[in-house]
Amino acid sequence: MELAAWATIFLALLLGAVLFPLITFLSRGRRAYNLPPGPKPWPIIGNLNLIGELPHRSIHELSKRYGPLMQLRLGSVPVVVGASVEMAKIFLKTKDEAFSDRPRFAISKHSSYDYSGILWSRYGPHHRQARRICAAELFNAKRLESFEHVRDEEVRVMLRHLHQASGRTVRLRDYLQTLALGVISRVVLGRKYVVEEEGASPPAITPAEFREVMDEVFVLLGAFNIGDFIPWLDWLDLQGYVRRMKKMSATFDSFLEHVLNEHNERRRLEGDRFVAKDMVDVLLQLADDTDLEVQLSRVSVKAITQDLIIGATDTAANTVEWAVSELLKNPKILAKATEELDHVIGLDRLVTEGDIPRLPYLEAILKETMRLHPGAPMLAPHLSREDASVDGYGIPAGTTVFVNVWSIGRDPALWDAPQEFRPQRFLDSKIDVKGQDFELLPFGSGRRMCPGYNLALKMIALSLANLLHGFLWRLPDDVAAEELNMEETYRLAVPRKFPLEAVVEPRLPARLYMGA
């Protein structure tokens, strides 16, 4: 860092050191709360010094010391962490409405059109209506079924490309991200933006640019922006994250403007013959409905569209990559999964979505993967809308709330040998991932649960089943199963720190891969 930057930081911290005693003195007359236990905060930085590169792990260790309900202070932001089934149920069900708001971080402002989407919007009429639209119009059973052919086609494209890499070491994440982006862009936008489409009009963004902006979104969603926690440093943008967020937002907005213009032009040309083909079509039709409780503006349509694209992409790819990683570390489990697929599917066809309910061991593998590697280990943060009492402690309005589902997934009181990958634990269990069983909450629960979880589950199950059924997987010769690196890196989702590399060999007739 340049000398001038260090000087600016020093002066800012010096100013804080001068102001802190004054702020403390002025705040003495405020209402006192019986706050949950937690580490004593330092002036200015609070407990930020206790948070490492993997916040869910740092906070997990703190919870082991201070309990399943813990108070932190991150800079000037009061934070409460729930790290047990009981706490998750209180925050996400019993007192869901009281904790259903979102904090206003920089990324939520710049990635969601000033909080106009679904993920980061404040709780109220706009958010409730967006949720109703998702449930009734975008992710209902009929709509999801209508896109089954898209999921099937994109999985077959992935299998064909992997077949072409037969006998070579592949970086699995590249194939999974292409699959996820292909499905989501076709379902939401009506067009596959991750590759050049023959005969299609030139897109506003090249496939390479589309991937680049998506990668930037996921990096920035997990970035620790110091200005969010020490607001009087926000104007300095010390890490440059806000500048990057603004640039990313401008690129995405230009792209979405082009998408909406194309869709509106098709609506105009087809007139009364127009039929909605994708989710943007549905949203634009709803924007014409003057009877909605909250009118959908063009900005709202773009914000919801952006959330839809972002929501399922990273989670689906990460979950499948973690699943294959765990299976390569546990060859006996991989063999058992392959045996089930051979018995149910046979060796003369690919897996279809209709087969998934007849694959209980595959389902158990997915649940066990999401227990150990939840897509968002602390879920997206909640915010208390009002003063509340939890387990005898006071939670003031304006407190940021994290539910550490990563901790819950490793609770020895809930799980036998919680650090081990044991899919069989779910074979005779009724625990599901749909938000009603608080032992396993990869998609959250309550008013803020991921609205597209059904689509994500379909993508994850179909892609993993076909990867296992279509190929023999092994680690490169110089990597032993017990030596496979399983380190994480932190984003809103938590992918592998080092992308999985494995050797693929087809195990089905060649003609099955060529039909993609």
Annotated binding site for heme: 450
Rg (CA), the chain: 24
How many whole angstroms separate alpha carbon 11 and alpha carbon 5? 10
d(CA 516, CA 157): 5
Give phi and psi for 260, each to the nearest 5.
Answer: -65, -40
Q: What are phi and psi of 383, to 5 degrees?
A: -140, 135
Q: How many angstroms separate the CA atoms of 320 and 310, rounded?
A: 17
- 223 and 111 in contact (C-beta within 8 Å)? no
Cβ–Cβ under 8 Å, residues 458 and 434: no
Q: Where are the beta strands (DSSP E) in 139-277?
A: 169-171
Tokens of 307: 């959330």
Residue 500 CA, chain-centre distance (Å), reads 19
Distance CA 315, CA 49 (A): 29
251: Cβ contacts below 8 Å, ≥ 6 apart: 205, 209, 213
Q: How far apart are CA 103 and CA 74, in angstroms?
A: 13
Would you tell me how many other CB atoms lie within 10 Å of the CB of residue 200?
10
Tokens, residue 419: 């650090």
| Chain centroid to CA 513 | 30
Q: Which residues are annotated as a binding site?
A: 450
73: helix, strand or coil: strand
Q: What are the residue ranges of helices labelled H in 234-375?
A: 241-270, 279-287, 298-329, 331-345, 360-372
Contact by Cβ (8 Å): 135, 452: no
What is the greatest pairwise CA distance in the chain?
A: 77
| CB 354, CB 148: distance < 8 Å | no
Count of C-beta atoms within a 10 Å radius of residue 434: 14
C-alpha–C-alpha distance, residues 377 and 444, integer Å: 10
Instruction: Tell how many helices (H) and how many strands (E) occur in the chain.
Output: 18, 9
